[in-house]
Structure 1
Amino acid sequence: MSHTAHIPSHRKPRRSASKMALRAGVAGGVLSTLAVAGAAGTANAAEPVTETVELPTLTADLSAQIAQSADATQQTADSYEARAQQEAAAAKAAKQAAKDQKAAEKKAEAIKKAKAEAEAKRKAAAERAARSTERTTLSTSSAPSGGSSANQGSNSSASDSSNVSAPSSGSVSAVISFLRAQVGDAYVMGGTGPNSWDCSGLVQAAFKQANINLPRTSQAQSTAGTPVSLSNVQVGDILYWGGAGSAYHVGVYIGGGKYLDAANPSKGVVIQDLSGYPASGAVRVL
């Protein structure tokens, strides 16, 4: 026996064949993997991969469809524009028509007004002529009288009343006829008929027969019409005593220098002569 046999050997123990084969296989696999990876990396480095998107090819049909769509869009736009132009033209025409209609109505109204004014003037002239004729007739039919008593006035009114024409609405004769019919009625302060009167109440009622509404008091009646001088007084004019606007008595001129009034409680409604009791002024409402 060797003298070193008892000393453990420093040499590595031998590996078994199976272990060595296993290790060799693992190493070979690793090397194979690395080789493949390296080859792939080399290939990738040599030829970089890029992504390519293929565009669709425009065929004849697709081109026609696109052209048709563009034409349709243009036609729609043209249609909208044409419609907008038509609507604008229609609105302008309607506005002009309304303006023309308004001008025509205004012109027609002016013509109508002018005709109405001409007719009113014609009627007024005819009424003035008729009243002038009535005043002339009524004035000449009144018999002259120098007295101013109530009895003389009553006798005169009785003889003159038959000469007055039948009253007509809106005429002087309607006023005079009404006044003559009240001769002999009583005078009562504030009286407005039918059988008793004061001076302004009688005058107001008389002119109502001619469709004229006079104010109630003597003061207001003295300024109710157009002032006329006593030298130009006509039948149907209102006579007043006192100042215009402050008159204390009124009567109506009936022609022939006479007037009719509700005089006072002692006389009642009578016809009197102006020479015996001259008026202060006169106004004309007819």
Structure 2
Amino acid sequence: MSHTAHIRSHRKPRRSASKIAMRAGVAGGVLGTLAVTGASASSASAAEPVTQTLELPTLTADLAAQVAQSADATQQTAANYQLLAERDAAAAKAASQAKSDLAQAQKKAEEAKQKAAEEAARKAQAAERASRSSARTALATTASTGSGSTVSTGTSDATGSAAAIVSFVKSQVGKAYVSGATGPSAYDCSGLVQTAFRQVGVSLPRVSQDQSTAGTQVSLSDLQPGDILYWGGAGSAYHVAVYVGDGMFVGAQNPSSGVVERPLSYDQPTGAVRVL
């Protein structure tokens, strides 16, 4: 026996047999109840998979249908995007082609316009040459038959303003021909005539068409130094020069010859006007 057994507070109380039996019965009842509950749960659990197994094929089929439908929708969307892309590409190609066609059409129109202008210029030049040739033929015929008017050789004994004009134009011989120029180093035909008359205080129009009607029309058989000679019709002349006497004239002919002195037979004029 322990040396503390005689102390009451250290002794373990003894359980009675009746209490032990009662507790055993309660425990047995609880265990029995748990066993029944477990068996019921096991039975329910065993029956539940059968129900799920029966419903599983239906759920799987629906899911497969949804997946297939989603795939079809995705494919249709992709096809729509591809169609839109093809339409955009076709529209861009058509716009580019239209732009190219327009540029070609404009180029052809410009070429046609330029050709028409060149053709009109050639026809105008041909008409001028024909007019000059006709005038020369008429003058030559008149001179050869001795009938009608003839071109006068005049005289170089000019006086006053006429002499000043003659002196000026002769002093310009050898200078260059430049279209639109009025001196002092270069002239065109009407620029030389205008500048010559300016030396004596006479203001003439700038272009040959107007200079051909600036004075009194005179016959080629009655020319005097200082008269203005013109080629082409009065009011539509394409060239002018100054008669300097003795059957000679001075004019700015063209870019290759410049200002020259030539006999009337070199290029017979169509008419003449007298300003002084």
TM-score of the aligned structures, taking structure 1 as reference length: 0.42
**With structure 2 as the length reference, what TM-score do the two structures score?**
0.43
- Structure number with higher helix proportion: 2
